[in-house]
Amino acid sequence: MNDALTILRRCGIKPTPQRIAVVNYVLKSTTHPTAEDVLDHSRKKCPTVSRATVYNTLNLLAAKGLLKTQVLKEGTVVFDPNARQHHHFIDDDTGVIYDIPWSSLAVSGKEKLRDYEVREYQVILRGRRTKRK
Amino acid sequence: MNDALTILRRCGIKPTPQRIAVVNYVLKSTTHPTAEDVLDHSRKKCPTVSRATVYNTLNLLAAKGLLKTQVLKEGTVVFDPNARQHHHFIDDDTGVIYDIPWSSLAVSGKEKLRDYEVREYQVILRGRRTKRK
DNA sequence: TTTTGTTCTTGACACCGTCTAAATTTAAAA
DNA sequence: TTTTAAATTTAGACGGTGTCAAGAACAAAA
Ligand SMILES: [Mn+2]
Ligand SMILES: [Mn+2]
Ligand SMILES: [Zn+2]
Ligand SMILES: [Zn+2]
């Protein structure tokens, strides 16, 4: 795992304490945090960081392809540090969003869709995560 | 097409002028209206109807299975008068949501997903609708 | 009719994300 | 160094979305 400073420099984004705090949380996250989640956690390292800066930084990272915004929750977008193609499973009870590897599922029939030029797609599944022992 | 009064009675929902206005618009819609869309159109027939009543009615219809809420747009849910299983294609340029028939696509590999009990799923595709002559 | 209880509707409120203008920090020029 | 310019951050305001407590309307009971 590269550190935040290296990542920001490699993308041509000037590193600031605020941006470093945001990157350190969101790119290492294994969940799908909302902007509010990122704000809360970033303030532990950088207590004065503002909501606007968090949004600016997250949108900058998304524009650079380091993360992807996903429309999976009602009312708010979530930020996904896994920017590669994959599917999602959403737990009915908890709302937790799980990544499903791209290779786990196959979708057939896309090529037959006339009138639609598909740029990207994903399967969204909902249900319950079974108890693990 | 049954009229709103009949539909409401058959579902055991007491018909009121507000609910009739909502049902008349949303169940006949061929698009995927937001609550705001439904509010605007309902007020043409029932000018005093409030936002809260529109939400109450839409959620009631969803609970009865007459429509389905879908998380497809940023910032707002949309209400789908097509409550049967189907997929969605979202136009990058316009944001318009198109229904893709269930039979058009097939998803394989779900049965191999251990730890996940799938209740429902759909494919969400994004891209451009090609020009139609 | 009056009282009581239930259902329905609504205005007010909280949350999310964007925008602006001012303040701060950093960098470049003189 | 001092001055100027550019980039970044911040607080607060704003518009849009969805929820809630309280009042209005309605129905049942007395
Ligand atoms: Mn969260
Ligand atoms: Mn709309
Ligand atoms: Zn993901
Ligand atoms: Zn649909």
Both A50 and A92 in one domain: the answer is no
- Whether B79 maps to a domain, the answer reads no
**Number of neighbouring beta carbons within 10 Å of residue B104:** 17
Whether B42 is covered by a domain: the verdict is yes
B54 and B20 within one domain: yes
Q: Residue A7 has what pLDDT?
A: 93
- Smallest Cβ–Cβ distance between A124 and the set B113, B121, B132 belongs to B121
Residues B62 and B29 in one domain: yes
Digit-coded pLDDT (tens) for A15-53: 999 999 999 999 999 999 999 999 999 999 999 999 999
The answer on B55 and B94 residing in a single domain is: no
Q: Of A28, A43, A69, which closes a domain?
A: A69
Domain presence at residue A106: yes
Q: Which chain B residues touch A128 with a CB distance below 8 Å? A: 116-117, 119
Nearest to B125 among A74, A92, A116 (CB): A116
Give domain status of residue A65, yes or no: yes
* Nearest CA-CA distance, residue B11 and chain A, Å: 25
Residues B55 and B113 in one domain: no
Domain total in chain A: 2
| Domain shared by B9 and B64, yes or no | yes
CA distance B98 to B125: 10
The predicted model scores a pTM of: 0.92
Same-domain pairing of A60 and A96: no
Same domain, A39 and A91: no
Q: Do the beta carbons of residue A35 and residue A54 sit within 8 Å? A: yes
Residue B56 included in any domain: yes
Q: Let me know if residue A40 belongs to a domain.
A: yes
- Mean pLDDT score of chain B, rounded to an integer? 93
Question: Rounded to whole angstroms, how far apart are CA atoms B99 and B87?
Answer: 6
State how far the alpha carbon of B23 is from the alpha carbons of A94, B68, B98, in Å.
31, 13, 21
CA pseudo-torsion sign B30, B34, B35, B40: negative
Listed residues: CB within 5 A of ion ligand 3: A 80, 82, 99
Q: Which residues pair with A116 in a beta bridge?
A: B129
Q: How confident is the model at residue B39 (pLDDT cuts 50, 70, 90)?
A: very high
Q: Based on the domain organization, do A56 and A96 belong to the same domain? A: no
Whether the pLDDT of residue B18 is over 70: the answer is yes
Query: A86 contacts in B (CB within 8 Å)?
Result: none
| Domain range for A107 | 86-127
pLDDT at B132 over 90: no
pLDDT digits (tens, 9 = 90+) for A91-132: 999 999 999 999 999 999 999 999 999 999 999 999 999 976
Task: Please tell me the predicted confidence (pLDDT) of residue B1.
Answer: 55
Which ranges of B3-126 would DSSP assign to H, the alpha helix? 4-10, 17-26, 35-45, 51-63
| Residue at B74 is within a domain | no
Check CB contact of B71 with chain A, cutoff 8 Å: yes
Q: What is the pLDDT of residue A60?
A: 96
Residue A116 has a pLDDT of: 97
The domain that holds B20 is classified in CATH as 1.10.10.10
Whether residue A21 is contained in a domain is answered as yes
pLDDT at A131: 76
For residue B46, give how far its alpha carbon lies from the nearest alpha carbon of chain A (Å).
Answer: 27
Quote the CA–CA distance of B82 and B84 in Å, as a whole number: 6
